[in-house]
């Protein structure tokens, strides 16, 4: 039997990159992958790919910064499949600039998606999971949330905040049977990263003891592990998936 047979998994930012890899892997393991994203064409394409491979998936155009949209997405998911078992808070953006050059708009855009969006999604599904007495929530932090990064005040603030929210929700929801954890990805070879200049990619690799960048599938594997029965006693943890960068 597949690990997530019949489970309903919401993956935010699931239309491409790490999110898409995660949706594909959950579906391959028997889950119904519910993709939330604002990239409609890519979202439908990801669903088509899953269905073509024999999996089950559905796409909703959801802006996670808008609680009304998130709540509607939860209701539609429950109407379609009866419940929600897993929430992967993967959606995130960057608007990089040094402190002196960062505008208030750049700051707020990242806060809205990366922090408020995670709050909105988790709040919207919490009652459903509490009523069932079980559930899995995994949030996307980052290695930069652990040690900072030049030119990313806004992004680092959100990813450090995710770690704090994860610990808090693990305390609040753990007693209700819900595991809340986070992953802290390192440099990952998404399509966007692959387009960077070769010298930049080499400098990134040089910072990783394993000597290479991660694949989106490796990040997806970390999400799947933390949602699996093998991780049933793991709660409030931020798992670094960075090839040893933070050693």
- For residues 22 and 226, is the Cβ–Cβ distance under 8 A? no
Residue 185 in 3-state DSSP? strand
Q: Which two tokens stand for residue 199?
A: 């010298």
Pairing of strands 135-140, 178-185: parallel
CA distance 238 to 183: 5
Q: Which of 67, 147, 155, 233 is catalytic?
A: 155
Cα–Cα distance measured from residue 35 to residue 137, given in angstroms and rounded to the nearest whole number: 15
CB-based burial label for 176 (10 Å; 0-12, 13-18, 19+): middle
Q: How far is CA 182 from CA 55, 79, 80, in A?
A: 26, 28, 27
- Please name the residues in contact with 131: beta carbons below 8 A apart, sequence gap of 6 or more: none
Confirm whether 233 is a catalytic residue: no
Q: Which residues are catalytic?
A: 155
């Amino acid at each position: 039997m597949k690990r997530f047979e019949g489970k309903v998994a919401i993956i935010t930012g699931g239309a491409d990159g790490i999110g898409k890899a995660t949706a594909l892997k959950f579906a391959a393991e028997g889950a119904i992958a519910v993709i939330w994203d604002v990239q409609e064409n890519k979202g439908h394409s990801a669903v088509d790919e899953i269905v073509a491979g024999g999996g089950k998936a559905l796409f909703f155009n959801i802006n996670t910064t808008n609680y009304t949209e998130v709540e509607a997405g939860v209701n539609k998911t429950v109407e379609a499949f009866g419940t929600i078992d897993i929430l992967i808070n993967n959606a995130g953006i960057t608007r990089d600039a040094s402190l002196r050059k960062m505008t208030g708009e750049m700051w707020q855009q990242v806060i809205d998606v990366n922090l408020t969006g995670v709050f909105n999604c988790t709040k919207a599904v919490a009652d459903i999971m509490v009523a069932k007495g079980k559930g899995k929530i995994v949030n996307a932090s980052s290695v930069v949330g652990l040690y900072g990064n030049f030119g990313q005040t806004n992004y680092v603030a959100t990813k450090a905040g995710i770690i704090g929210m994860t610990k808090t929700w693990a305390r609040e929801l753990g007693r209700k049977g819900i595991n809340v954890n986070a992953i802290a990805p390192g440099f990952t070879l998404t399509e966007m990263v692959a387009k960077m200049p070769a010298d930049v990619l080499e400098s990134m690799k040089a910072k990783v003891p394993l000597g290479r960048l991660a694949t989106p599938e490796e990040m997806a594997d970390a999400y799947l592990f933390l949602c699996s029965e093998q991780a049933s006693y793991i709660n409030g943890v931020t798992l670094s998936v960075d090839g040893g960068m933070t050693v």
